[in-house]
Amino acid sequence: MKKRVAEIFKPFLGEEPPVNLPKNREFGHYAIPVFKYAKAQKRNPAEFARELGEKVVQREEFEKVEPVGGFLNLTLSQKFLDQFANRVLEEGEEFGKGSAPVKESILLEYISANPTGPLHIGHGRGAVFGDALLRIGRHLGHKIVAEYYVNDAGRQIYLLGLSLWLAGREELGLPVEYPEEYYRGEYIKELAKGGLKELGEEPFRNESGVEQLAEWGKDKMLEEIKRDLEAMGITPFDNWVSEKEIFTRWEEVRQLLEKAGALYEKDGKVWLKSTQFGDDKDRVVIREDGRPTYLAGDIVYHWDKFRRGFDRYINIWGADHHGYIARVKSAIKFLGYDPAKLEILLAQMVKLLKGGEPFKMSKRAGNFILVRDLVEEVGADPMRFIFLTKKPDTHLEFDIDQLSQQDSSNPAFYINYAHARIRSIFRKIGKEYRDFIPVELNSLGEEEKALLFSAFQLPYILEEAFTHREPHRLTNYLYRLASDFHSYYNRTRILETPEEAERLKVVAVIATILKLGLGLLGVTAKERM
């Protein structure tokens, strides 16, 4: 709708002007600032706005055109609102699709949790955040490839194999000496028992079996991670990239870094000159014993990413990886690519309460709350919604008992209740709201106009949510729209009134937008509640 209004003014201004929402709704639906255009013609802004208004005041899209200082305030006509209502109902869940002004090809990497244990709620928040960005971005028309980077090489995988070997030996009653570092938790014992059943006792009887167990255990954990993702409603990944396979190119990348003058030797180690590009200190890429560091793996992976030629690269990392940003970007610069194309978004941890008390840690995982536990406790939809109610880089704390509240304190319930209420209205008359375009809207009250206008803002909200990487803008918008509907519903009779047909059309639009918005969050709109 904003774009359509901007297009109207293009012939008069030579370009599509910015179309803003006035701070006060009494000023109309939109406001166009004309200072820039008046200045270019050395005109008085107020006089320029008045003359511009005279050129468009007769158009059917506007009910009122009012110059105020250097702004032109616009009130949309019922006919224009009706055109958009028809469009929403005709397009349904396709409404706003492909509406982004600039389409980009994007490689989105998220979760990438080590396949050494089940997903905890910290992983879950990053997963839901990434999935919402993916859904919204694709809806807007961006070409986005979703990727999971599997850390299947290095010490953490060795520790998985060692931990399974130790647990299996304990199960067999064989001698066990536990080192300082190994993985704990019931899931290790469960996995070791599965290894005994599937692989037999041989891998557990001597330490040479650790490597076999590491590979086998990694594959099993990946299967479990994929099940957890499916239970959360995460969109299937396009790519699963193996660190082990990527790392076969390390020597090639090392030579490129050496050629760029990015490396030097000191104290028996090889260092990256990351301070040249903003890091607080240089970083080790090869240890004294010749083994590459974790950073070396990240460098090879990002080299591989940038070789694929996307317009933009987005990584979603846990907040504890903040220190890696400067070093990775410096390596990208040394390799001859533009580090500005890489966005790294951080997801903070989640603190759960139940009845005001800390939610119990999972016995299975040891010191973590598992995604699986939360899904079983509250369901995937409420979990996804609550994860998306705040910016991901802020701490999130909530009481899961809130998610069982049947009132406005539970935003997921409140929004779904609005959709279910509208659905129940149409069940009473034996119709489907998705197919309802029976009348032309020409006698709307101010409340109905305001409801429709709010509904038509969805494409704009989606663009803002994606551009700023803030899906919580969509959750907030849906809550406001649902709240406006509930207020309208509680004051207004819809059925068996002279205005029934028009009011049904208005609420059909609201339901369509609520269902579409929830779907882009990965949440299913409830038909009955």
pLDDT in tens, the chain (529 residues): 888 899 999 999 999 999 998 877 788 899 999 999 999 999 999 999 999 999 999 899 999 999 998 899 999 999 999 999 999 999 999 999 998 888 999 999 999 999 999 999 999 999 999 999 999 999 999 999 999 999 998 889 999 999 999 999 999 999 999 899 999 889 999 999 999 999 999 999 999 999 999 999 999 999 999 999 999 999 999 999 999 999 999 999 999 999 999 999 999 999 999 999 989 999 999 999 999 999 999 999 999 999 999 999 999 999 988 989 999 999 999 999 999 999 999 999 899 888 888 887 666 766 788 999 899 988 999 999 999 999 999 999 989 888 878 888 889 999 999 999 999 999 999 888 777 777 888 888 989 999 999 999 999 999 999 999 999 999 999 999 999 999 999 999 999 999 999 999 999 999 999 999 999 999 999 999 8
- Give the whole-angstrom CA distance, residue 25 versus residue 490: 22
Tokens of 323: 């220190």
Task: Tell me the β-bridge partners of 82.
Answer: none
DSSP strand pairing (105-109 vs 143-150):
parallel
CA distances from 373 to 111, 122, 183, 401 (A): 18, 13, 20, 14
Residues 6 or more apart from 310 whose CB is under 8 A from it?
A: 105, 106, 107, 145, 341
Radius of gyration of the chain (CA): 28
- Give the whole-angstrom CA distance, residue 75 versus residue 81: 10
In the numeric block, the tokens 């995460």 are attached to 234
Tokens of 215: 């590979």
Residues 6 or more apart from 20 whose CB is under 8 A from it?
A: 30, 31, 32, 33
CATH topology of domain 2-76: Gyrase A; domain 2 (3.30.1360)
For 407-520, CATH number out of 2.30.40.10, 1.10.730.10, 1.10.3720.10, 2.40.10.10 equals: 1.10.730.10
In this chain, the answer to whether the domains covering 2-76 and 407-520 adopt an identical fold is no
Domain definitions of the chain by residue range:
2-76, 155-231, 407-520
- Give the whole-angstrom CA distance, residue 162 versus residue 182: 7
| DSSP state at residue 111 | -
**The dihedral formed by the CA atoms of 174, 155, 214 and 170, expressed in degrees to the nearest 10:** 20
Dihedrals φ, ψ of 143, to 5°? -90, 105
In the numeric block, the tokens 């004309």 are attached to 34
- Give the whole-angstrom CA distance, residue 488 versus residue 480: 12
CA distances from 522 to 133, 359, 422, 473 (A): 10, 25, 21, 15
